């Protein structure tokens, strides 16, 4: 008889292990064919990997069907998505962890055990494959049986030379016949976004449905047992993060754990539901012993997409360790906060905003939680209107800890700007280290007497390397498709990307493009973004076919073809991180030099090198600058080359490196002394 089997794997940022697993699966096919497995299909669910797993798999194993997630599925959600994609014509589902290396005869042995047991007991069982440690060969994963009064206490079953019944299973290697899959369905949706529980629930549901769960004889592959400390016992984490992990994907998410406890806990399920939380809470207060690295709290306020690469870089640090505290923004007024998980430990709470303050934060999300976690250092934004920042400043002044670092633009004048200026200078002088985005901010700090040794210029940037990798992978059809979808035809396109605020002066771009079109120039304007000025700008544009709005786009993959078709990025006012963003795509910038509100990134623009700078106060100056780009191909080529050279010197390496340097400098003084801080005893 000929069988069809579909293997389902979940992966996240384990490219080499995933490839090794797939190689071992491919090597099994020859022996499996002798057992009638003529068709072995593979579904891989890549849950937001950033290490190129999907691309590497597509190249090495073009027959593998790849589904993608955004990083929020975790194992339970990824397996649920993969299992739901298995066709009804598959005789078997194979659950396979991507860190398993199968023995060459693993598939053949699994099917043989299934066939023998089906012939013996009359129904097809769920067959669990045991794994062993690659070093000493001891059993690592497999099945377990219930022991004692506690319904959720299981003892591992050691494989022997015959099949053994199990109550529960690890989902590392599991063969599920079609009849069982139809009766049980896939992974319960309750376990989407959860790392564990789903495989245990599946086995217990199988037993409830009188479907045997059997551990195959011997072991069928290697898999290293995880030695990670429970996240709520990890003394390297801040207390707030440890407590949050209790309800996190690796712990006991309330909805998922509630479903599991009610389903399998019997009459006393409320007791079994609450006990793990009590034990975990006490464990979080008494973390596992061992050397503790220094811990840093990042008061992020609002984490926008462009900030994530820097957080990813900081996550690679083993000492110090970083935890981000953040919350949602205020629609229309602030940057849009990402909804997905961050690449480092994070606590998401609420930002408090000033009434009528147009998005000004009154208290940064997580300030109290961060202080109660007693970190060694706190990094916050330089915002004198934020009471949370002042709470950190006061704690440092009264107790000597935590060390206090500030990052931002650092717009200050010596002795000027009244009370607001005094507050800014006081805040800056009370910090152990300052991380200005550019030299202009550093100069302002030096002007008020800040010791240059406490200054660390970060050069705010986007992830240049990632953007260039996406550009390299852009298909030839992507740009024409984008033009057609947006109705841009083949005309040169000027591009605006960013939040739509009056200070951006996008209305000037609309007027300039209209002037050019009236003069007979072929060009169009594409406006990508949203904000409080969107309605006014759309009213100005009217039904002009030369002006297109797309709304806000945050995924870099969606922006790549738009930058690729752009002649230039045009931002008359308030140039910020868009300068680095445009240069990462080799696209020059057109702006106005005599406009208020430019960020420190404006310093990246060099007139005639990578940008054209018009005079906002001179009528027709912006129109003339755009016209030069339409008529002078050599100029455009020089500016593109200049943009590329500028981008070569940017990227996230410097922000990550300087942040680490600043933290280590601030923590290096064991006494806690600071020239501008007196500890009150």
- Tell me if the pTM is above 0.75: no
HSE on the CB side for 383, CA within 13 Å? 20
The secondary structure element, H or E, covering residue 323 is strand 321-326
Do you find a cis peptide bond into 435, omega within 30 degrees of 0?
Answer: no
The pLDDT value recorded for residue 261 is 96
Quick one: 361 and 266 in the same domain? Answer: no
| Token pair recorded at residue 670 | 């064991």
For residue 140, being part of any structural domain is answered with yes
The pLDDT value recorded for residue 375 is 93
- Report mean pLDDT in 10-residue bins for the chain, 681 residues: 88 93 91 75 91 88 92 94 93 96 94 94 94 91 91 93 95 96 94 94 96 96 85 84 90 95 95 95 85 90 90 91 93 81 89 85 93 93 94 94 93 80 92 93 92 93 88 87 92 94 93 94 95 93 93 88 96 92 96 85 94 89 96 96 95 93 85 43 30
The pLDDT value recorded for residue 167 is 96
Looking up tokens 């300068």 gives 579
**How many separate domains does the chain show?**
4
**Are the C-beta atoms of residues 497 and 509 closer than 8 Å to each other?**
no
**Are the C-beta atoms of residues 10 and 75 closer than 8 Å to each other?**
yes
Quick one: 366 and 500 in the same domain? Answer: no
The pLDDT value recorded for residue 234 is 85
Per this entry, what is the length of the chain?
Answer: 681
Q: How many CB atoms lie within 10 A of CB 302?
A: 21
For residue 290, being part of any structural domain is answered with no
The pLDDT value recorded for residue 672 is 44
The secondary structure element, H or E, covering residue 441 is helix 439-447
d(CA 403, CA 209): 58
Listing DSSP states for 30-82 in one string gives HHHHTTTEEEEEEEEEEES-SSSHHHHHHHH-TTSEEEEE-S-SHHHHHHHHH
Output the domain CATH number for residue 516: 3.40.50.2000
Quick one: 642 and 661 in the same domain? Answer: no
Closest CA to 455 of 661, 672, 308: 661
Quick one: 161 and 271 in the same domain? Answer: no
Quick one: 426 and 501 in the same domain? Answer: no
Quick one: 216 and 237 in the same domain? Answer: no
State the SS3 of 622-674. Answer: HHHHHHHHHHCHHHHHHHHHHHHHHHHCCCCHHHHHHHHHHHHHHHHCCCCCE
Strand partners, 177: 92
The pLDDT value recorded for residue 597 is 80
The secondary structure element, H or E, covering residue 177 is strand 173-177
- In which domain, by residue range, is 236 found? 231-282
d(CA 252, CA 479): 46
Quick one: 261 and 176 in the same domain? Answer: no
């Amino acid at each position: 008889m000929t069988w069809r089997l579909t293997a389902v794997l979940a992966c996240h940022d384990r490219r080499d292990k995933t490839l090794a697993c797939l190689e071992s699966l491919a090597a099994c096919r020859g022996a499996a064919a002798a057992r009638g497995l003529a068709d072995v299909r593979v579904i891989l669910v890549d849950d937001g990997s950033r290490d190129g797993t999907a691309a590497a798999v597509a190249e090495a194993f073009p027959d593998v069907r790849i589904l993608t997630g955004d990083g929020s599925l975790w194992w339970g959600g990824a397996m649920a998505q993969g299992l739901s994609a298995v066709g009804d014509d598959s005789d078997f589902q194979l659950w396979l962890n991507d860190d398993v290396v199968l023995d060459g005869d693993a598939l053949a042995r699994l099917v043989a055990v299934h066939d023998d047991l089906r012939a013996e007991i009359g129904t097809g069982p769920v067959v669990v494959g045991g794994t062993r440690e690659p070093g000493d060969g001891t059993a690592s994963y497999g099945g377990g049986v219930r022991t004692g009064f506690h319904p959720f206490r299981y003892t591992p079953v050691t494989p022997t030379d015959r099949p053994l019944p199990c109550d529960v299973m690890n989902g590392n290697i599991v063969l599920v016949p079609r009849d069982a899959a139809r009766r049980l369905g896939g992974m319960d949706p309750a376990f989407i976004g959860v790392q564990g529980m789903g495989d245990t629930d599946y086995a217990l549901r199988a037993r409830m449905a009188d479907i045997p769960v059997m551990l195959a004889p011997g072991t069928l592959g290697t898999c290293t047992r995880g030695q990670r400390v429970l996240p709520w016992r990890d003394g390297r984490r801040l207390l707030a993060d440890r407590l949050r992990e209790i309800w996190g994907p690796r712990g006991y998410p309330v909805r998922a754990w509630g479903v599991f406890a009610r389903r399998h806990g019997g009459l006393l399920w409320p007791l079994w539901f609450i006990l793990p939380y009590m034990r975990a809470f006490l464990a979080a207060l008494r973390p596992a012993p061992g050397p503790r690295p220094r811990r840093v709290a990042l008061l992020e306020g609002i984490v926008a997409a462009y900030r994530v690469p820097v957080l990813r870089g900081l996550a690679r640090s083993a000492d110090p360790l970083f935890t981000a505290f953040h919350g949602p923004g205020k629609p229309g007024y602030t940057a849009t906060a990402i909804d997905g998980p961050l690449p480092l430990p994070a606590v998401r709470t609420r930002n408090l905003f000033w009434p009528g303050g147009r998005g000004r934060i009154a208290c940064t999300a997580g300030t109290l939680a961060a202080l109660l976690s007693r970190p060694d250092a706190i990094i916050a934004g330089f915002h004198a209107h934020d009471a949370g920042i002042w709470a950190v400043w006061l704690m440092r002044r009264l107790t000597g800890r935590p060390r206090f670092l500030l990052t931002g633009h650092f717009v200050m004048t010596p002795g000027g700007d009244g009370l607001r200026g005094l507050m800014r200078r006081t805040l800056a002088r009370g910090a152990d280290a300052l991380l200005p985005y550019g030299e202009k901010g550093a100069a302002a700090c030096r002007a008020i007497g800040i010791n240059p040794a406490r200054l660390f210029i970060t050069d705010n940037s986007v992830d240049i390397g990632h953007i260039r990798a996406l550009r390299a992978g852009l298909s030839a059809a992507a740009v024409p498709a984008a033009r057609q979808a947006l109705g841009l035809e083949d005309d040169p396109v000027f591009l605006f990307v960013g939040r739509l605020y009056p200070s951006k002066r996008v209305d000037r771009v609309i007027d300039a493009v209209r002037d050019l079109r009236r003069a007979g120039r072929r060009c169009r304007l594409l406006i990508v973004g949203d904000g409080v000025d969107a309605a006014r700008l759309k009213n100005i544009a009217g039904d002009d076919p030369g002006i297109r709005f797309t709304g806000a786009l945050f995924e870099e993959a969606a922006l790549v073809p738009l930058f690729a078709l752009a002649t230039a990025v045009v931002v008359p006012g308030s140039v910020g991180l868009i300068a680095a963003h445009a240069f990462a795509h080799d696209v020059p910038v057109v702006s106005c030099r005599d406009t208020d509100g430019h960020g420190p990134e404006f310093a990246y623009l060099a007139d005639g090198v990578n940008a054209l700078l018009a005079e906002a106060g001179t009528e027709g100056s912006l129109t003339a600058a755009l016209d030069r780009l339409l008529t002078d191909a050599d100029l455009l080529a020089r500016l593109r080359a200049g943009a590329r050279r500028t981008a070569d010197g940017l990227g996230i390496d410097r922000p990550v490196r300087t942040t680490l340097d600043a933290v280590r400098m601030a923590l290096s003084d064991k006494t806690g002394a600071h020239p501008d801080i007196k500890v009150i005893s």
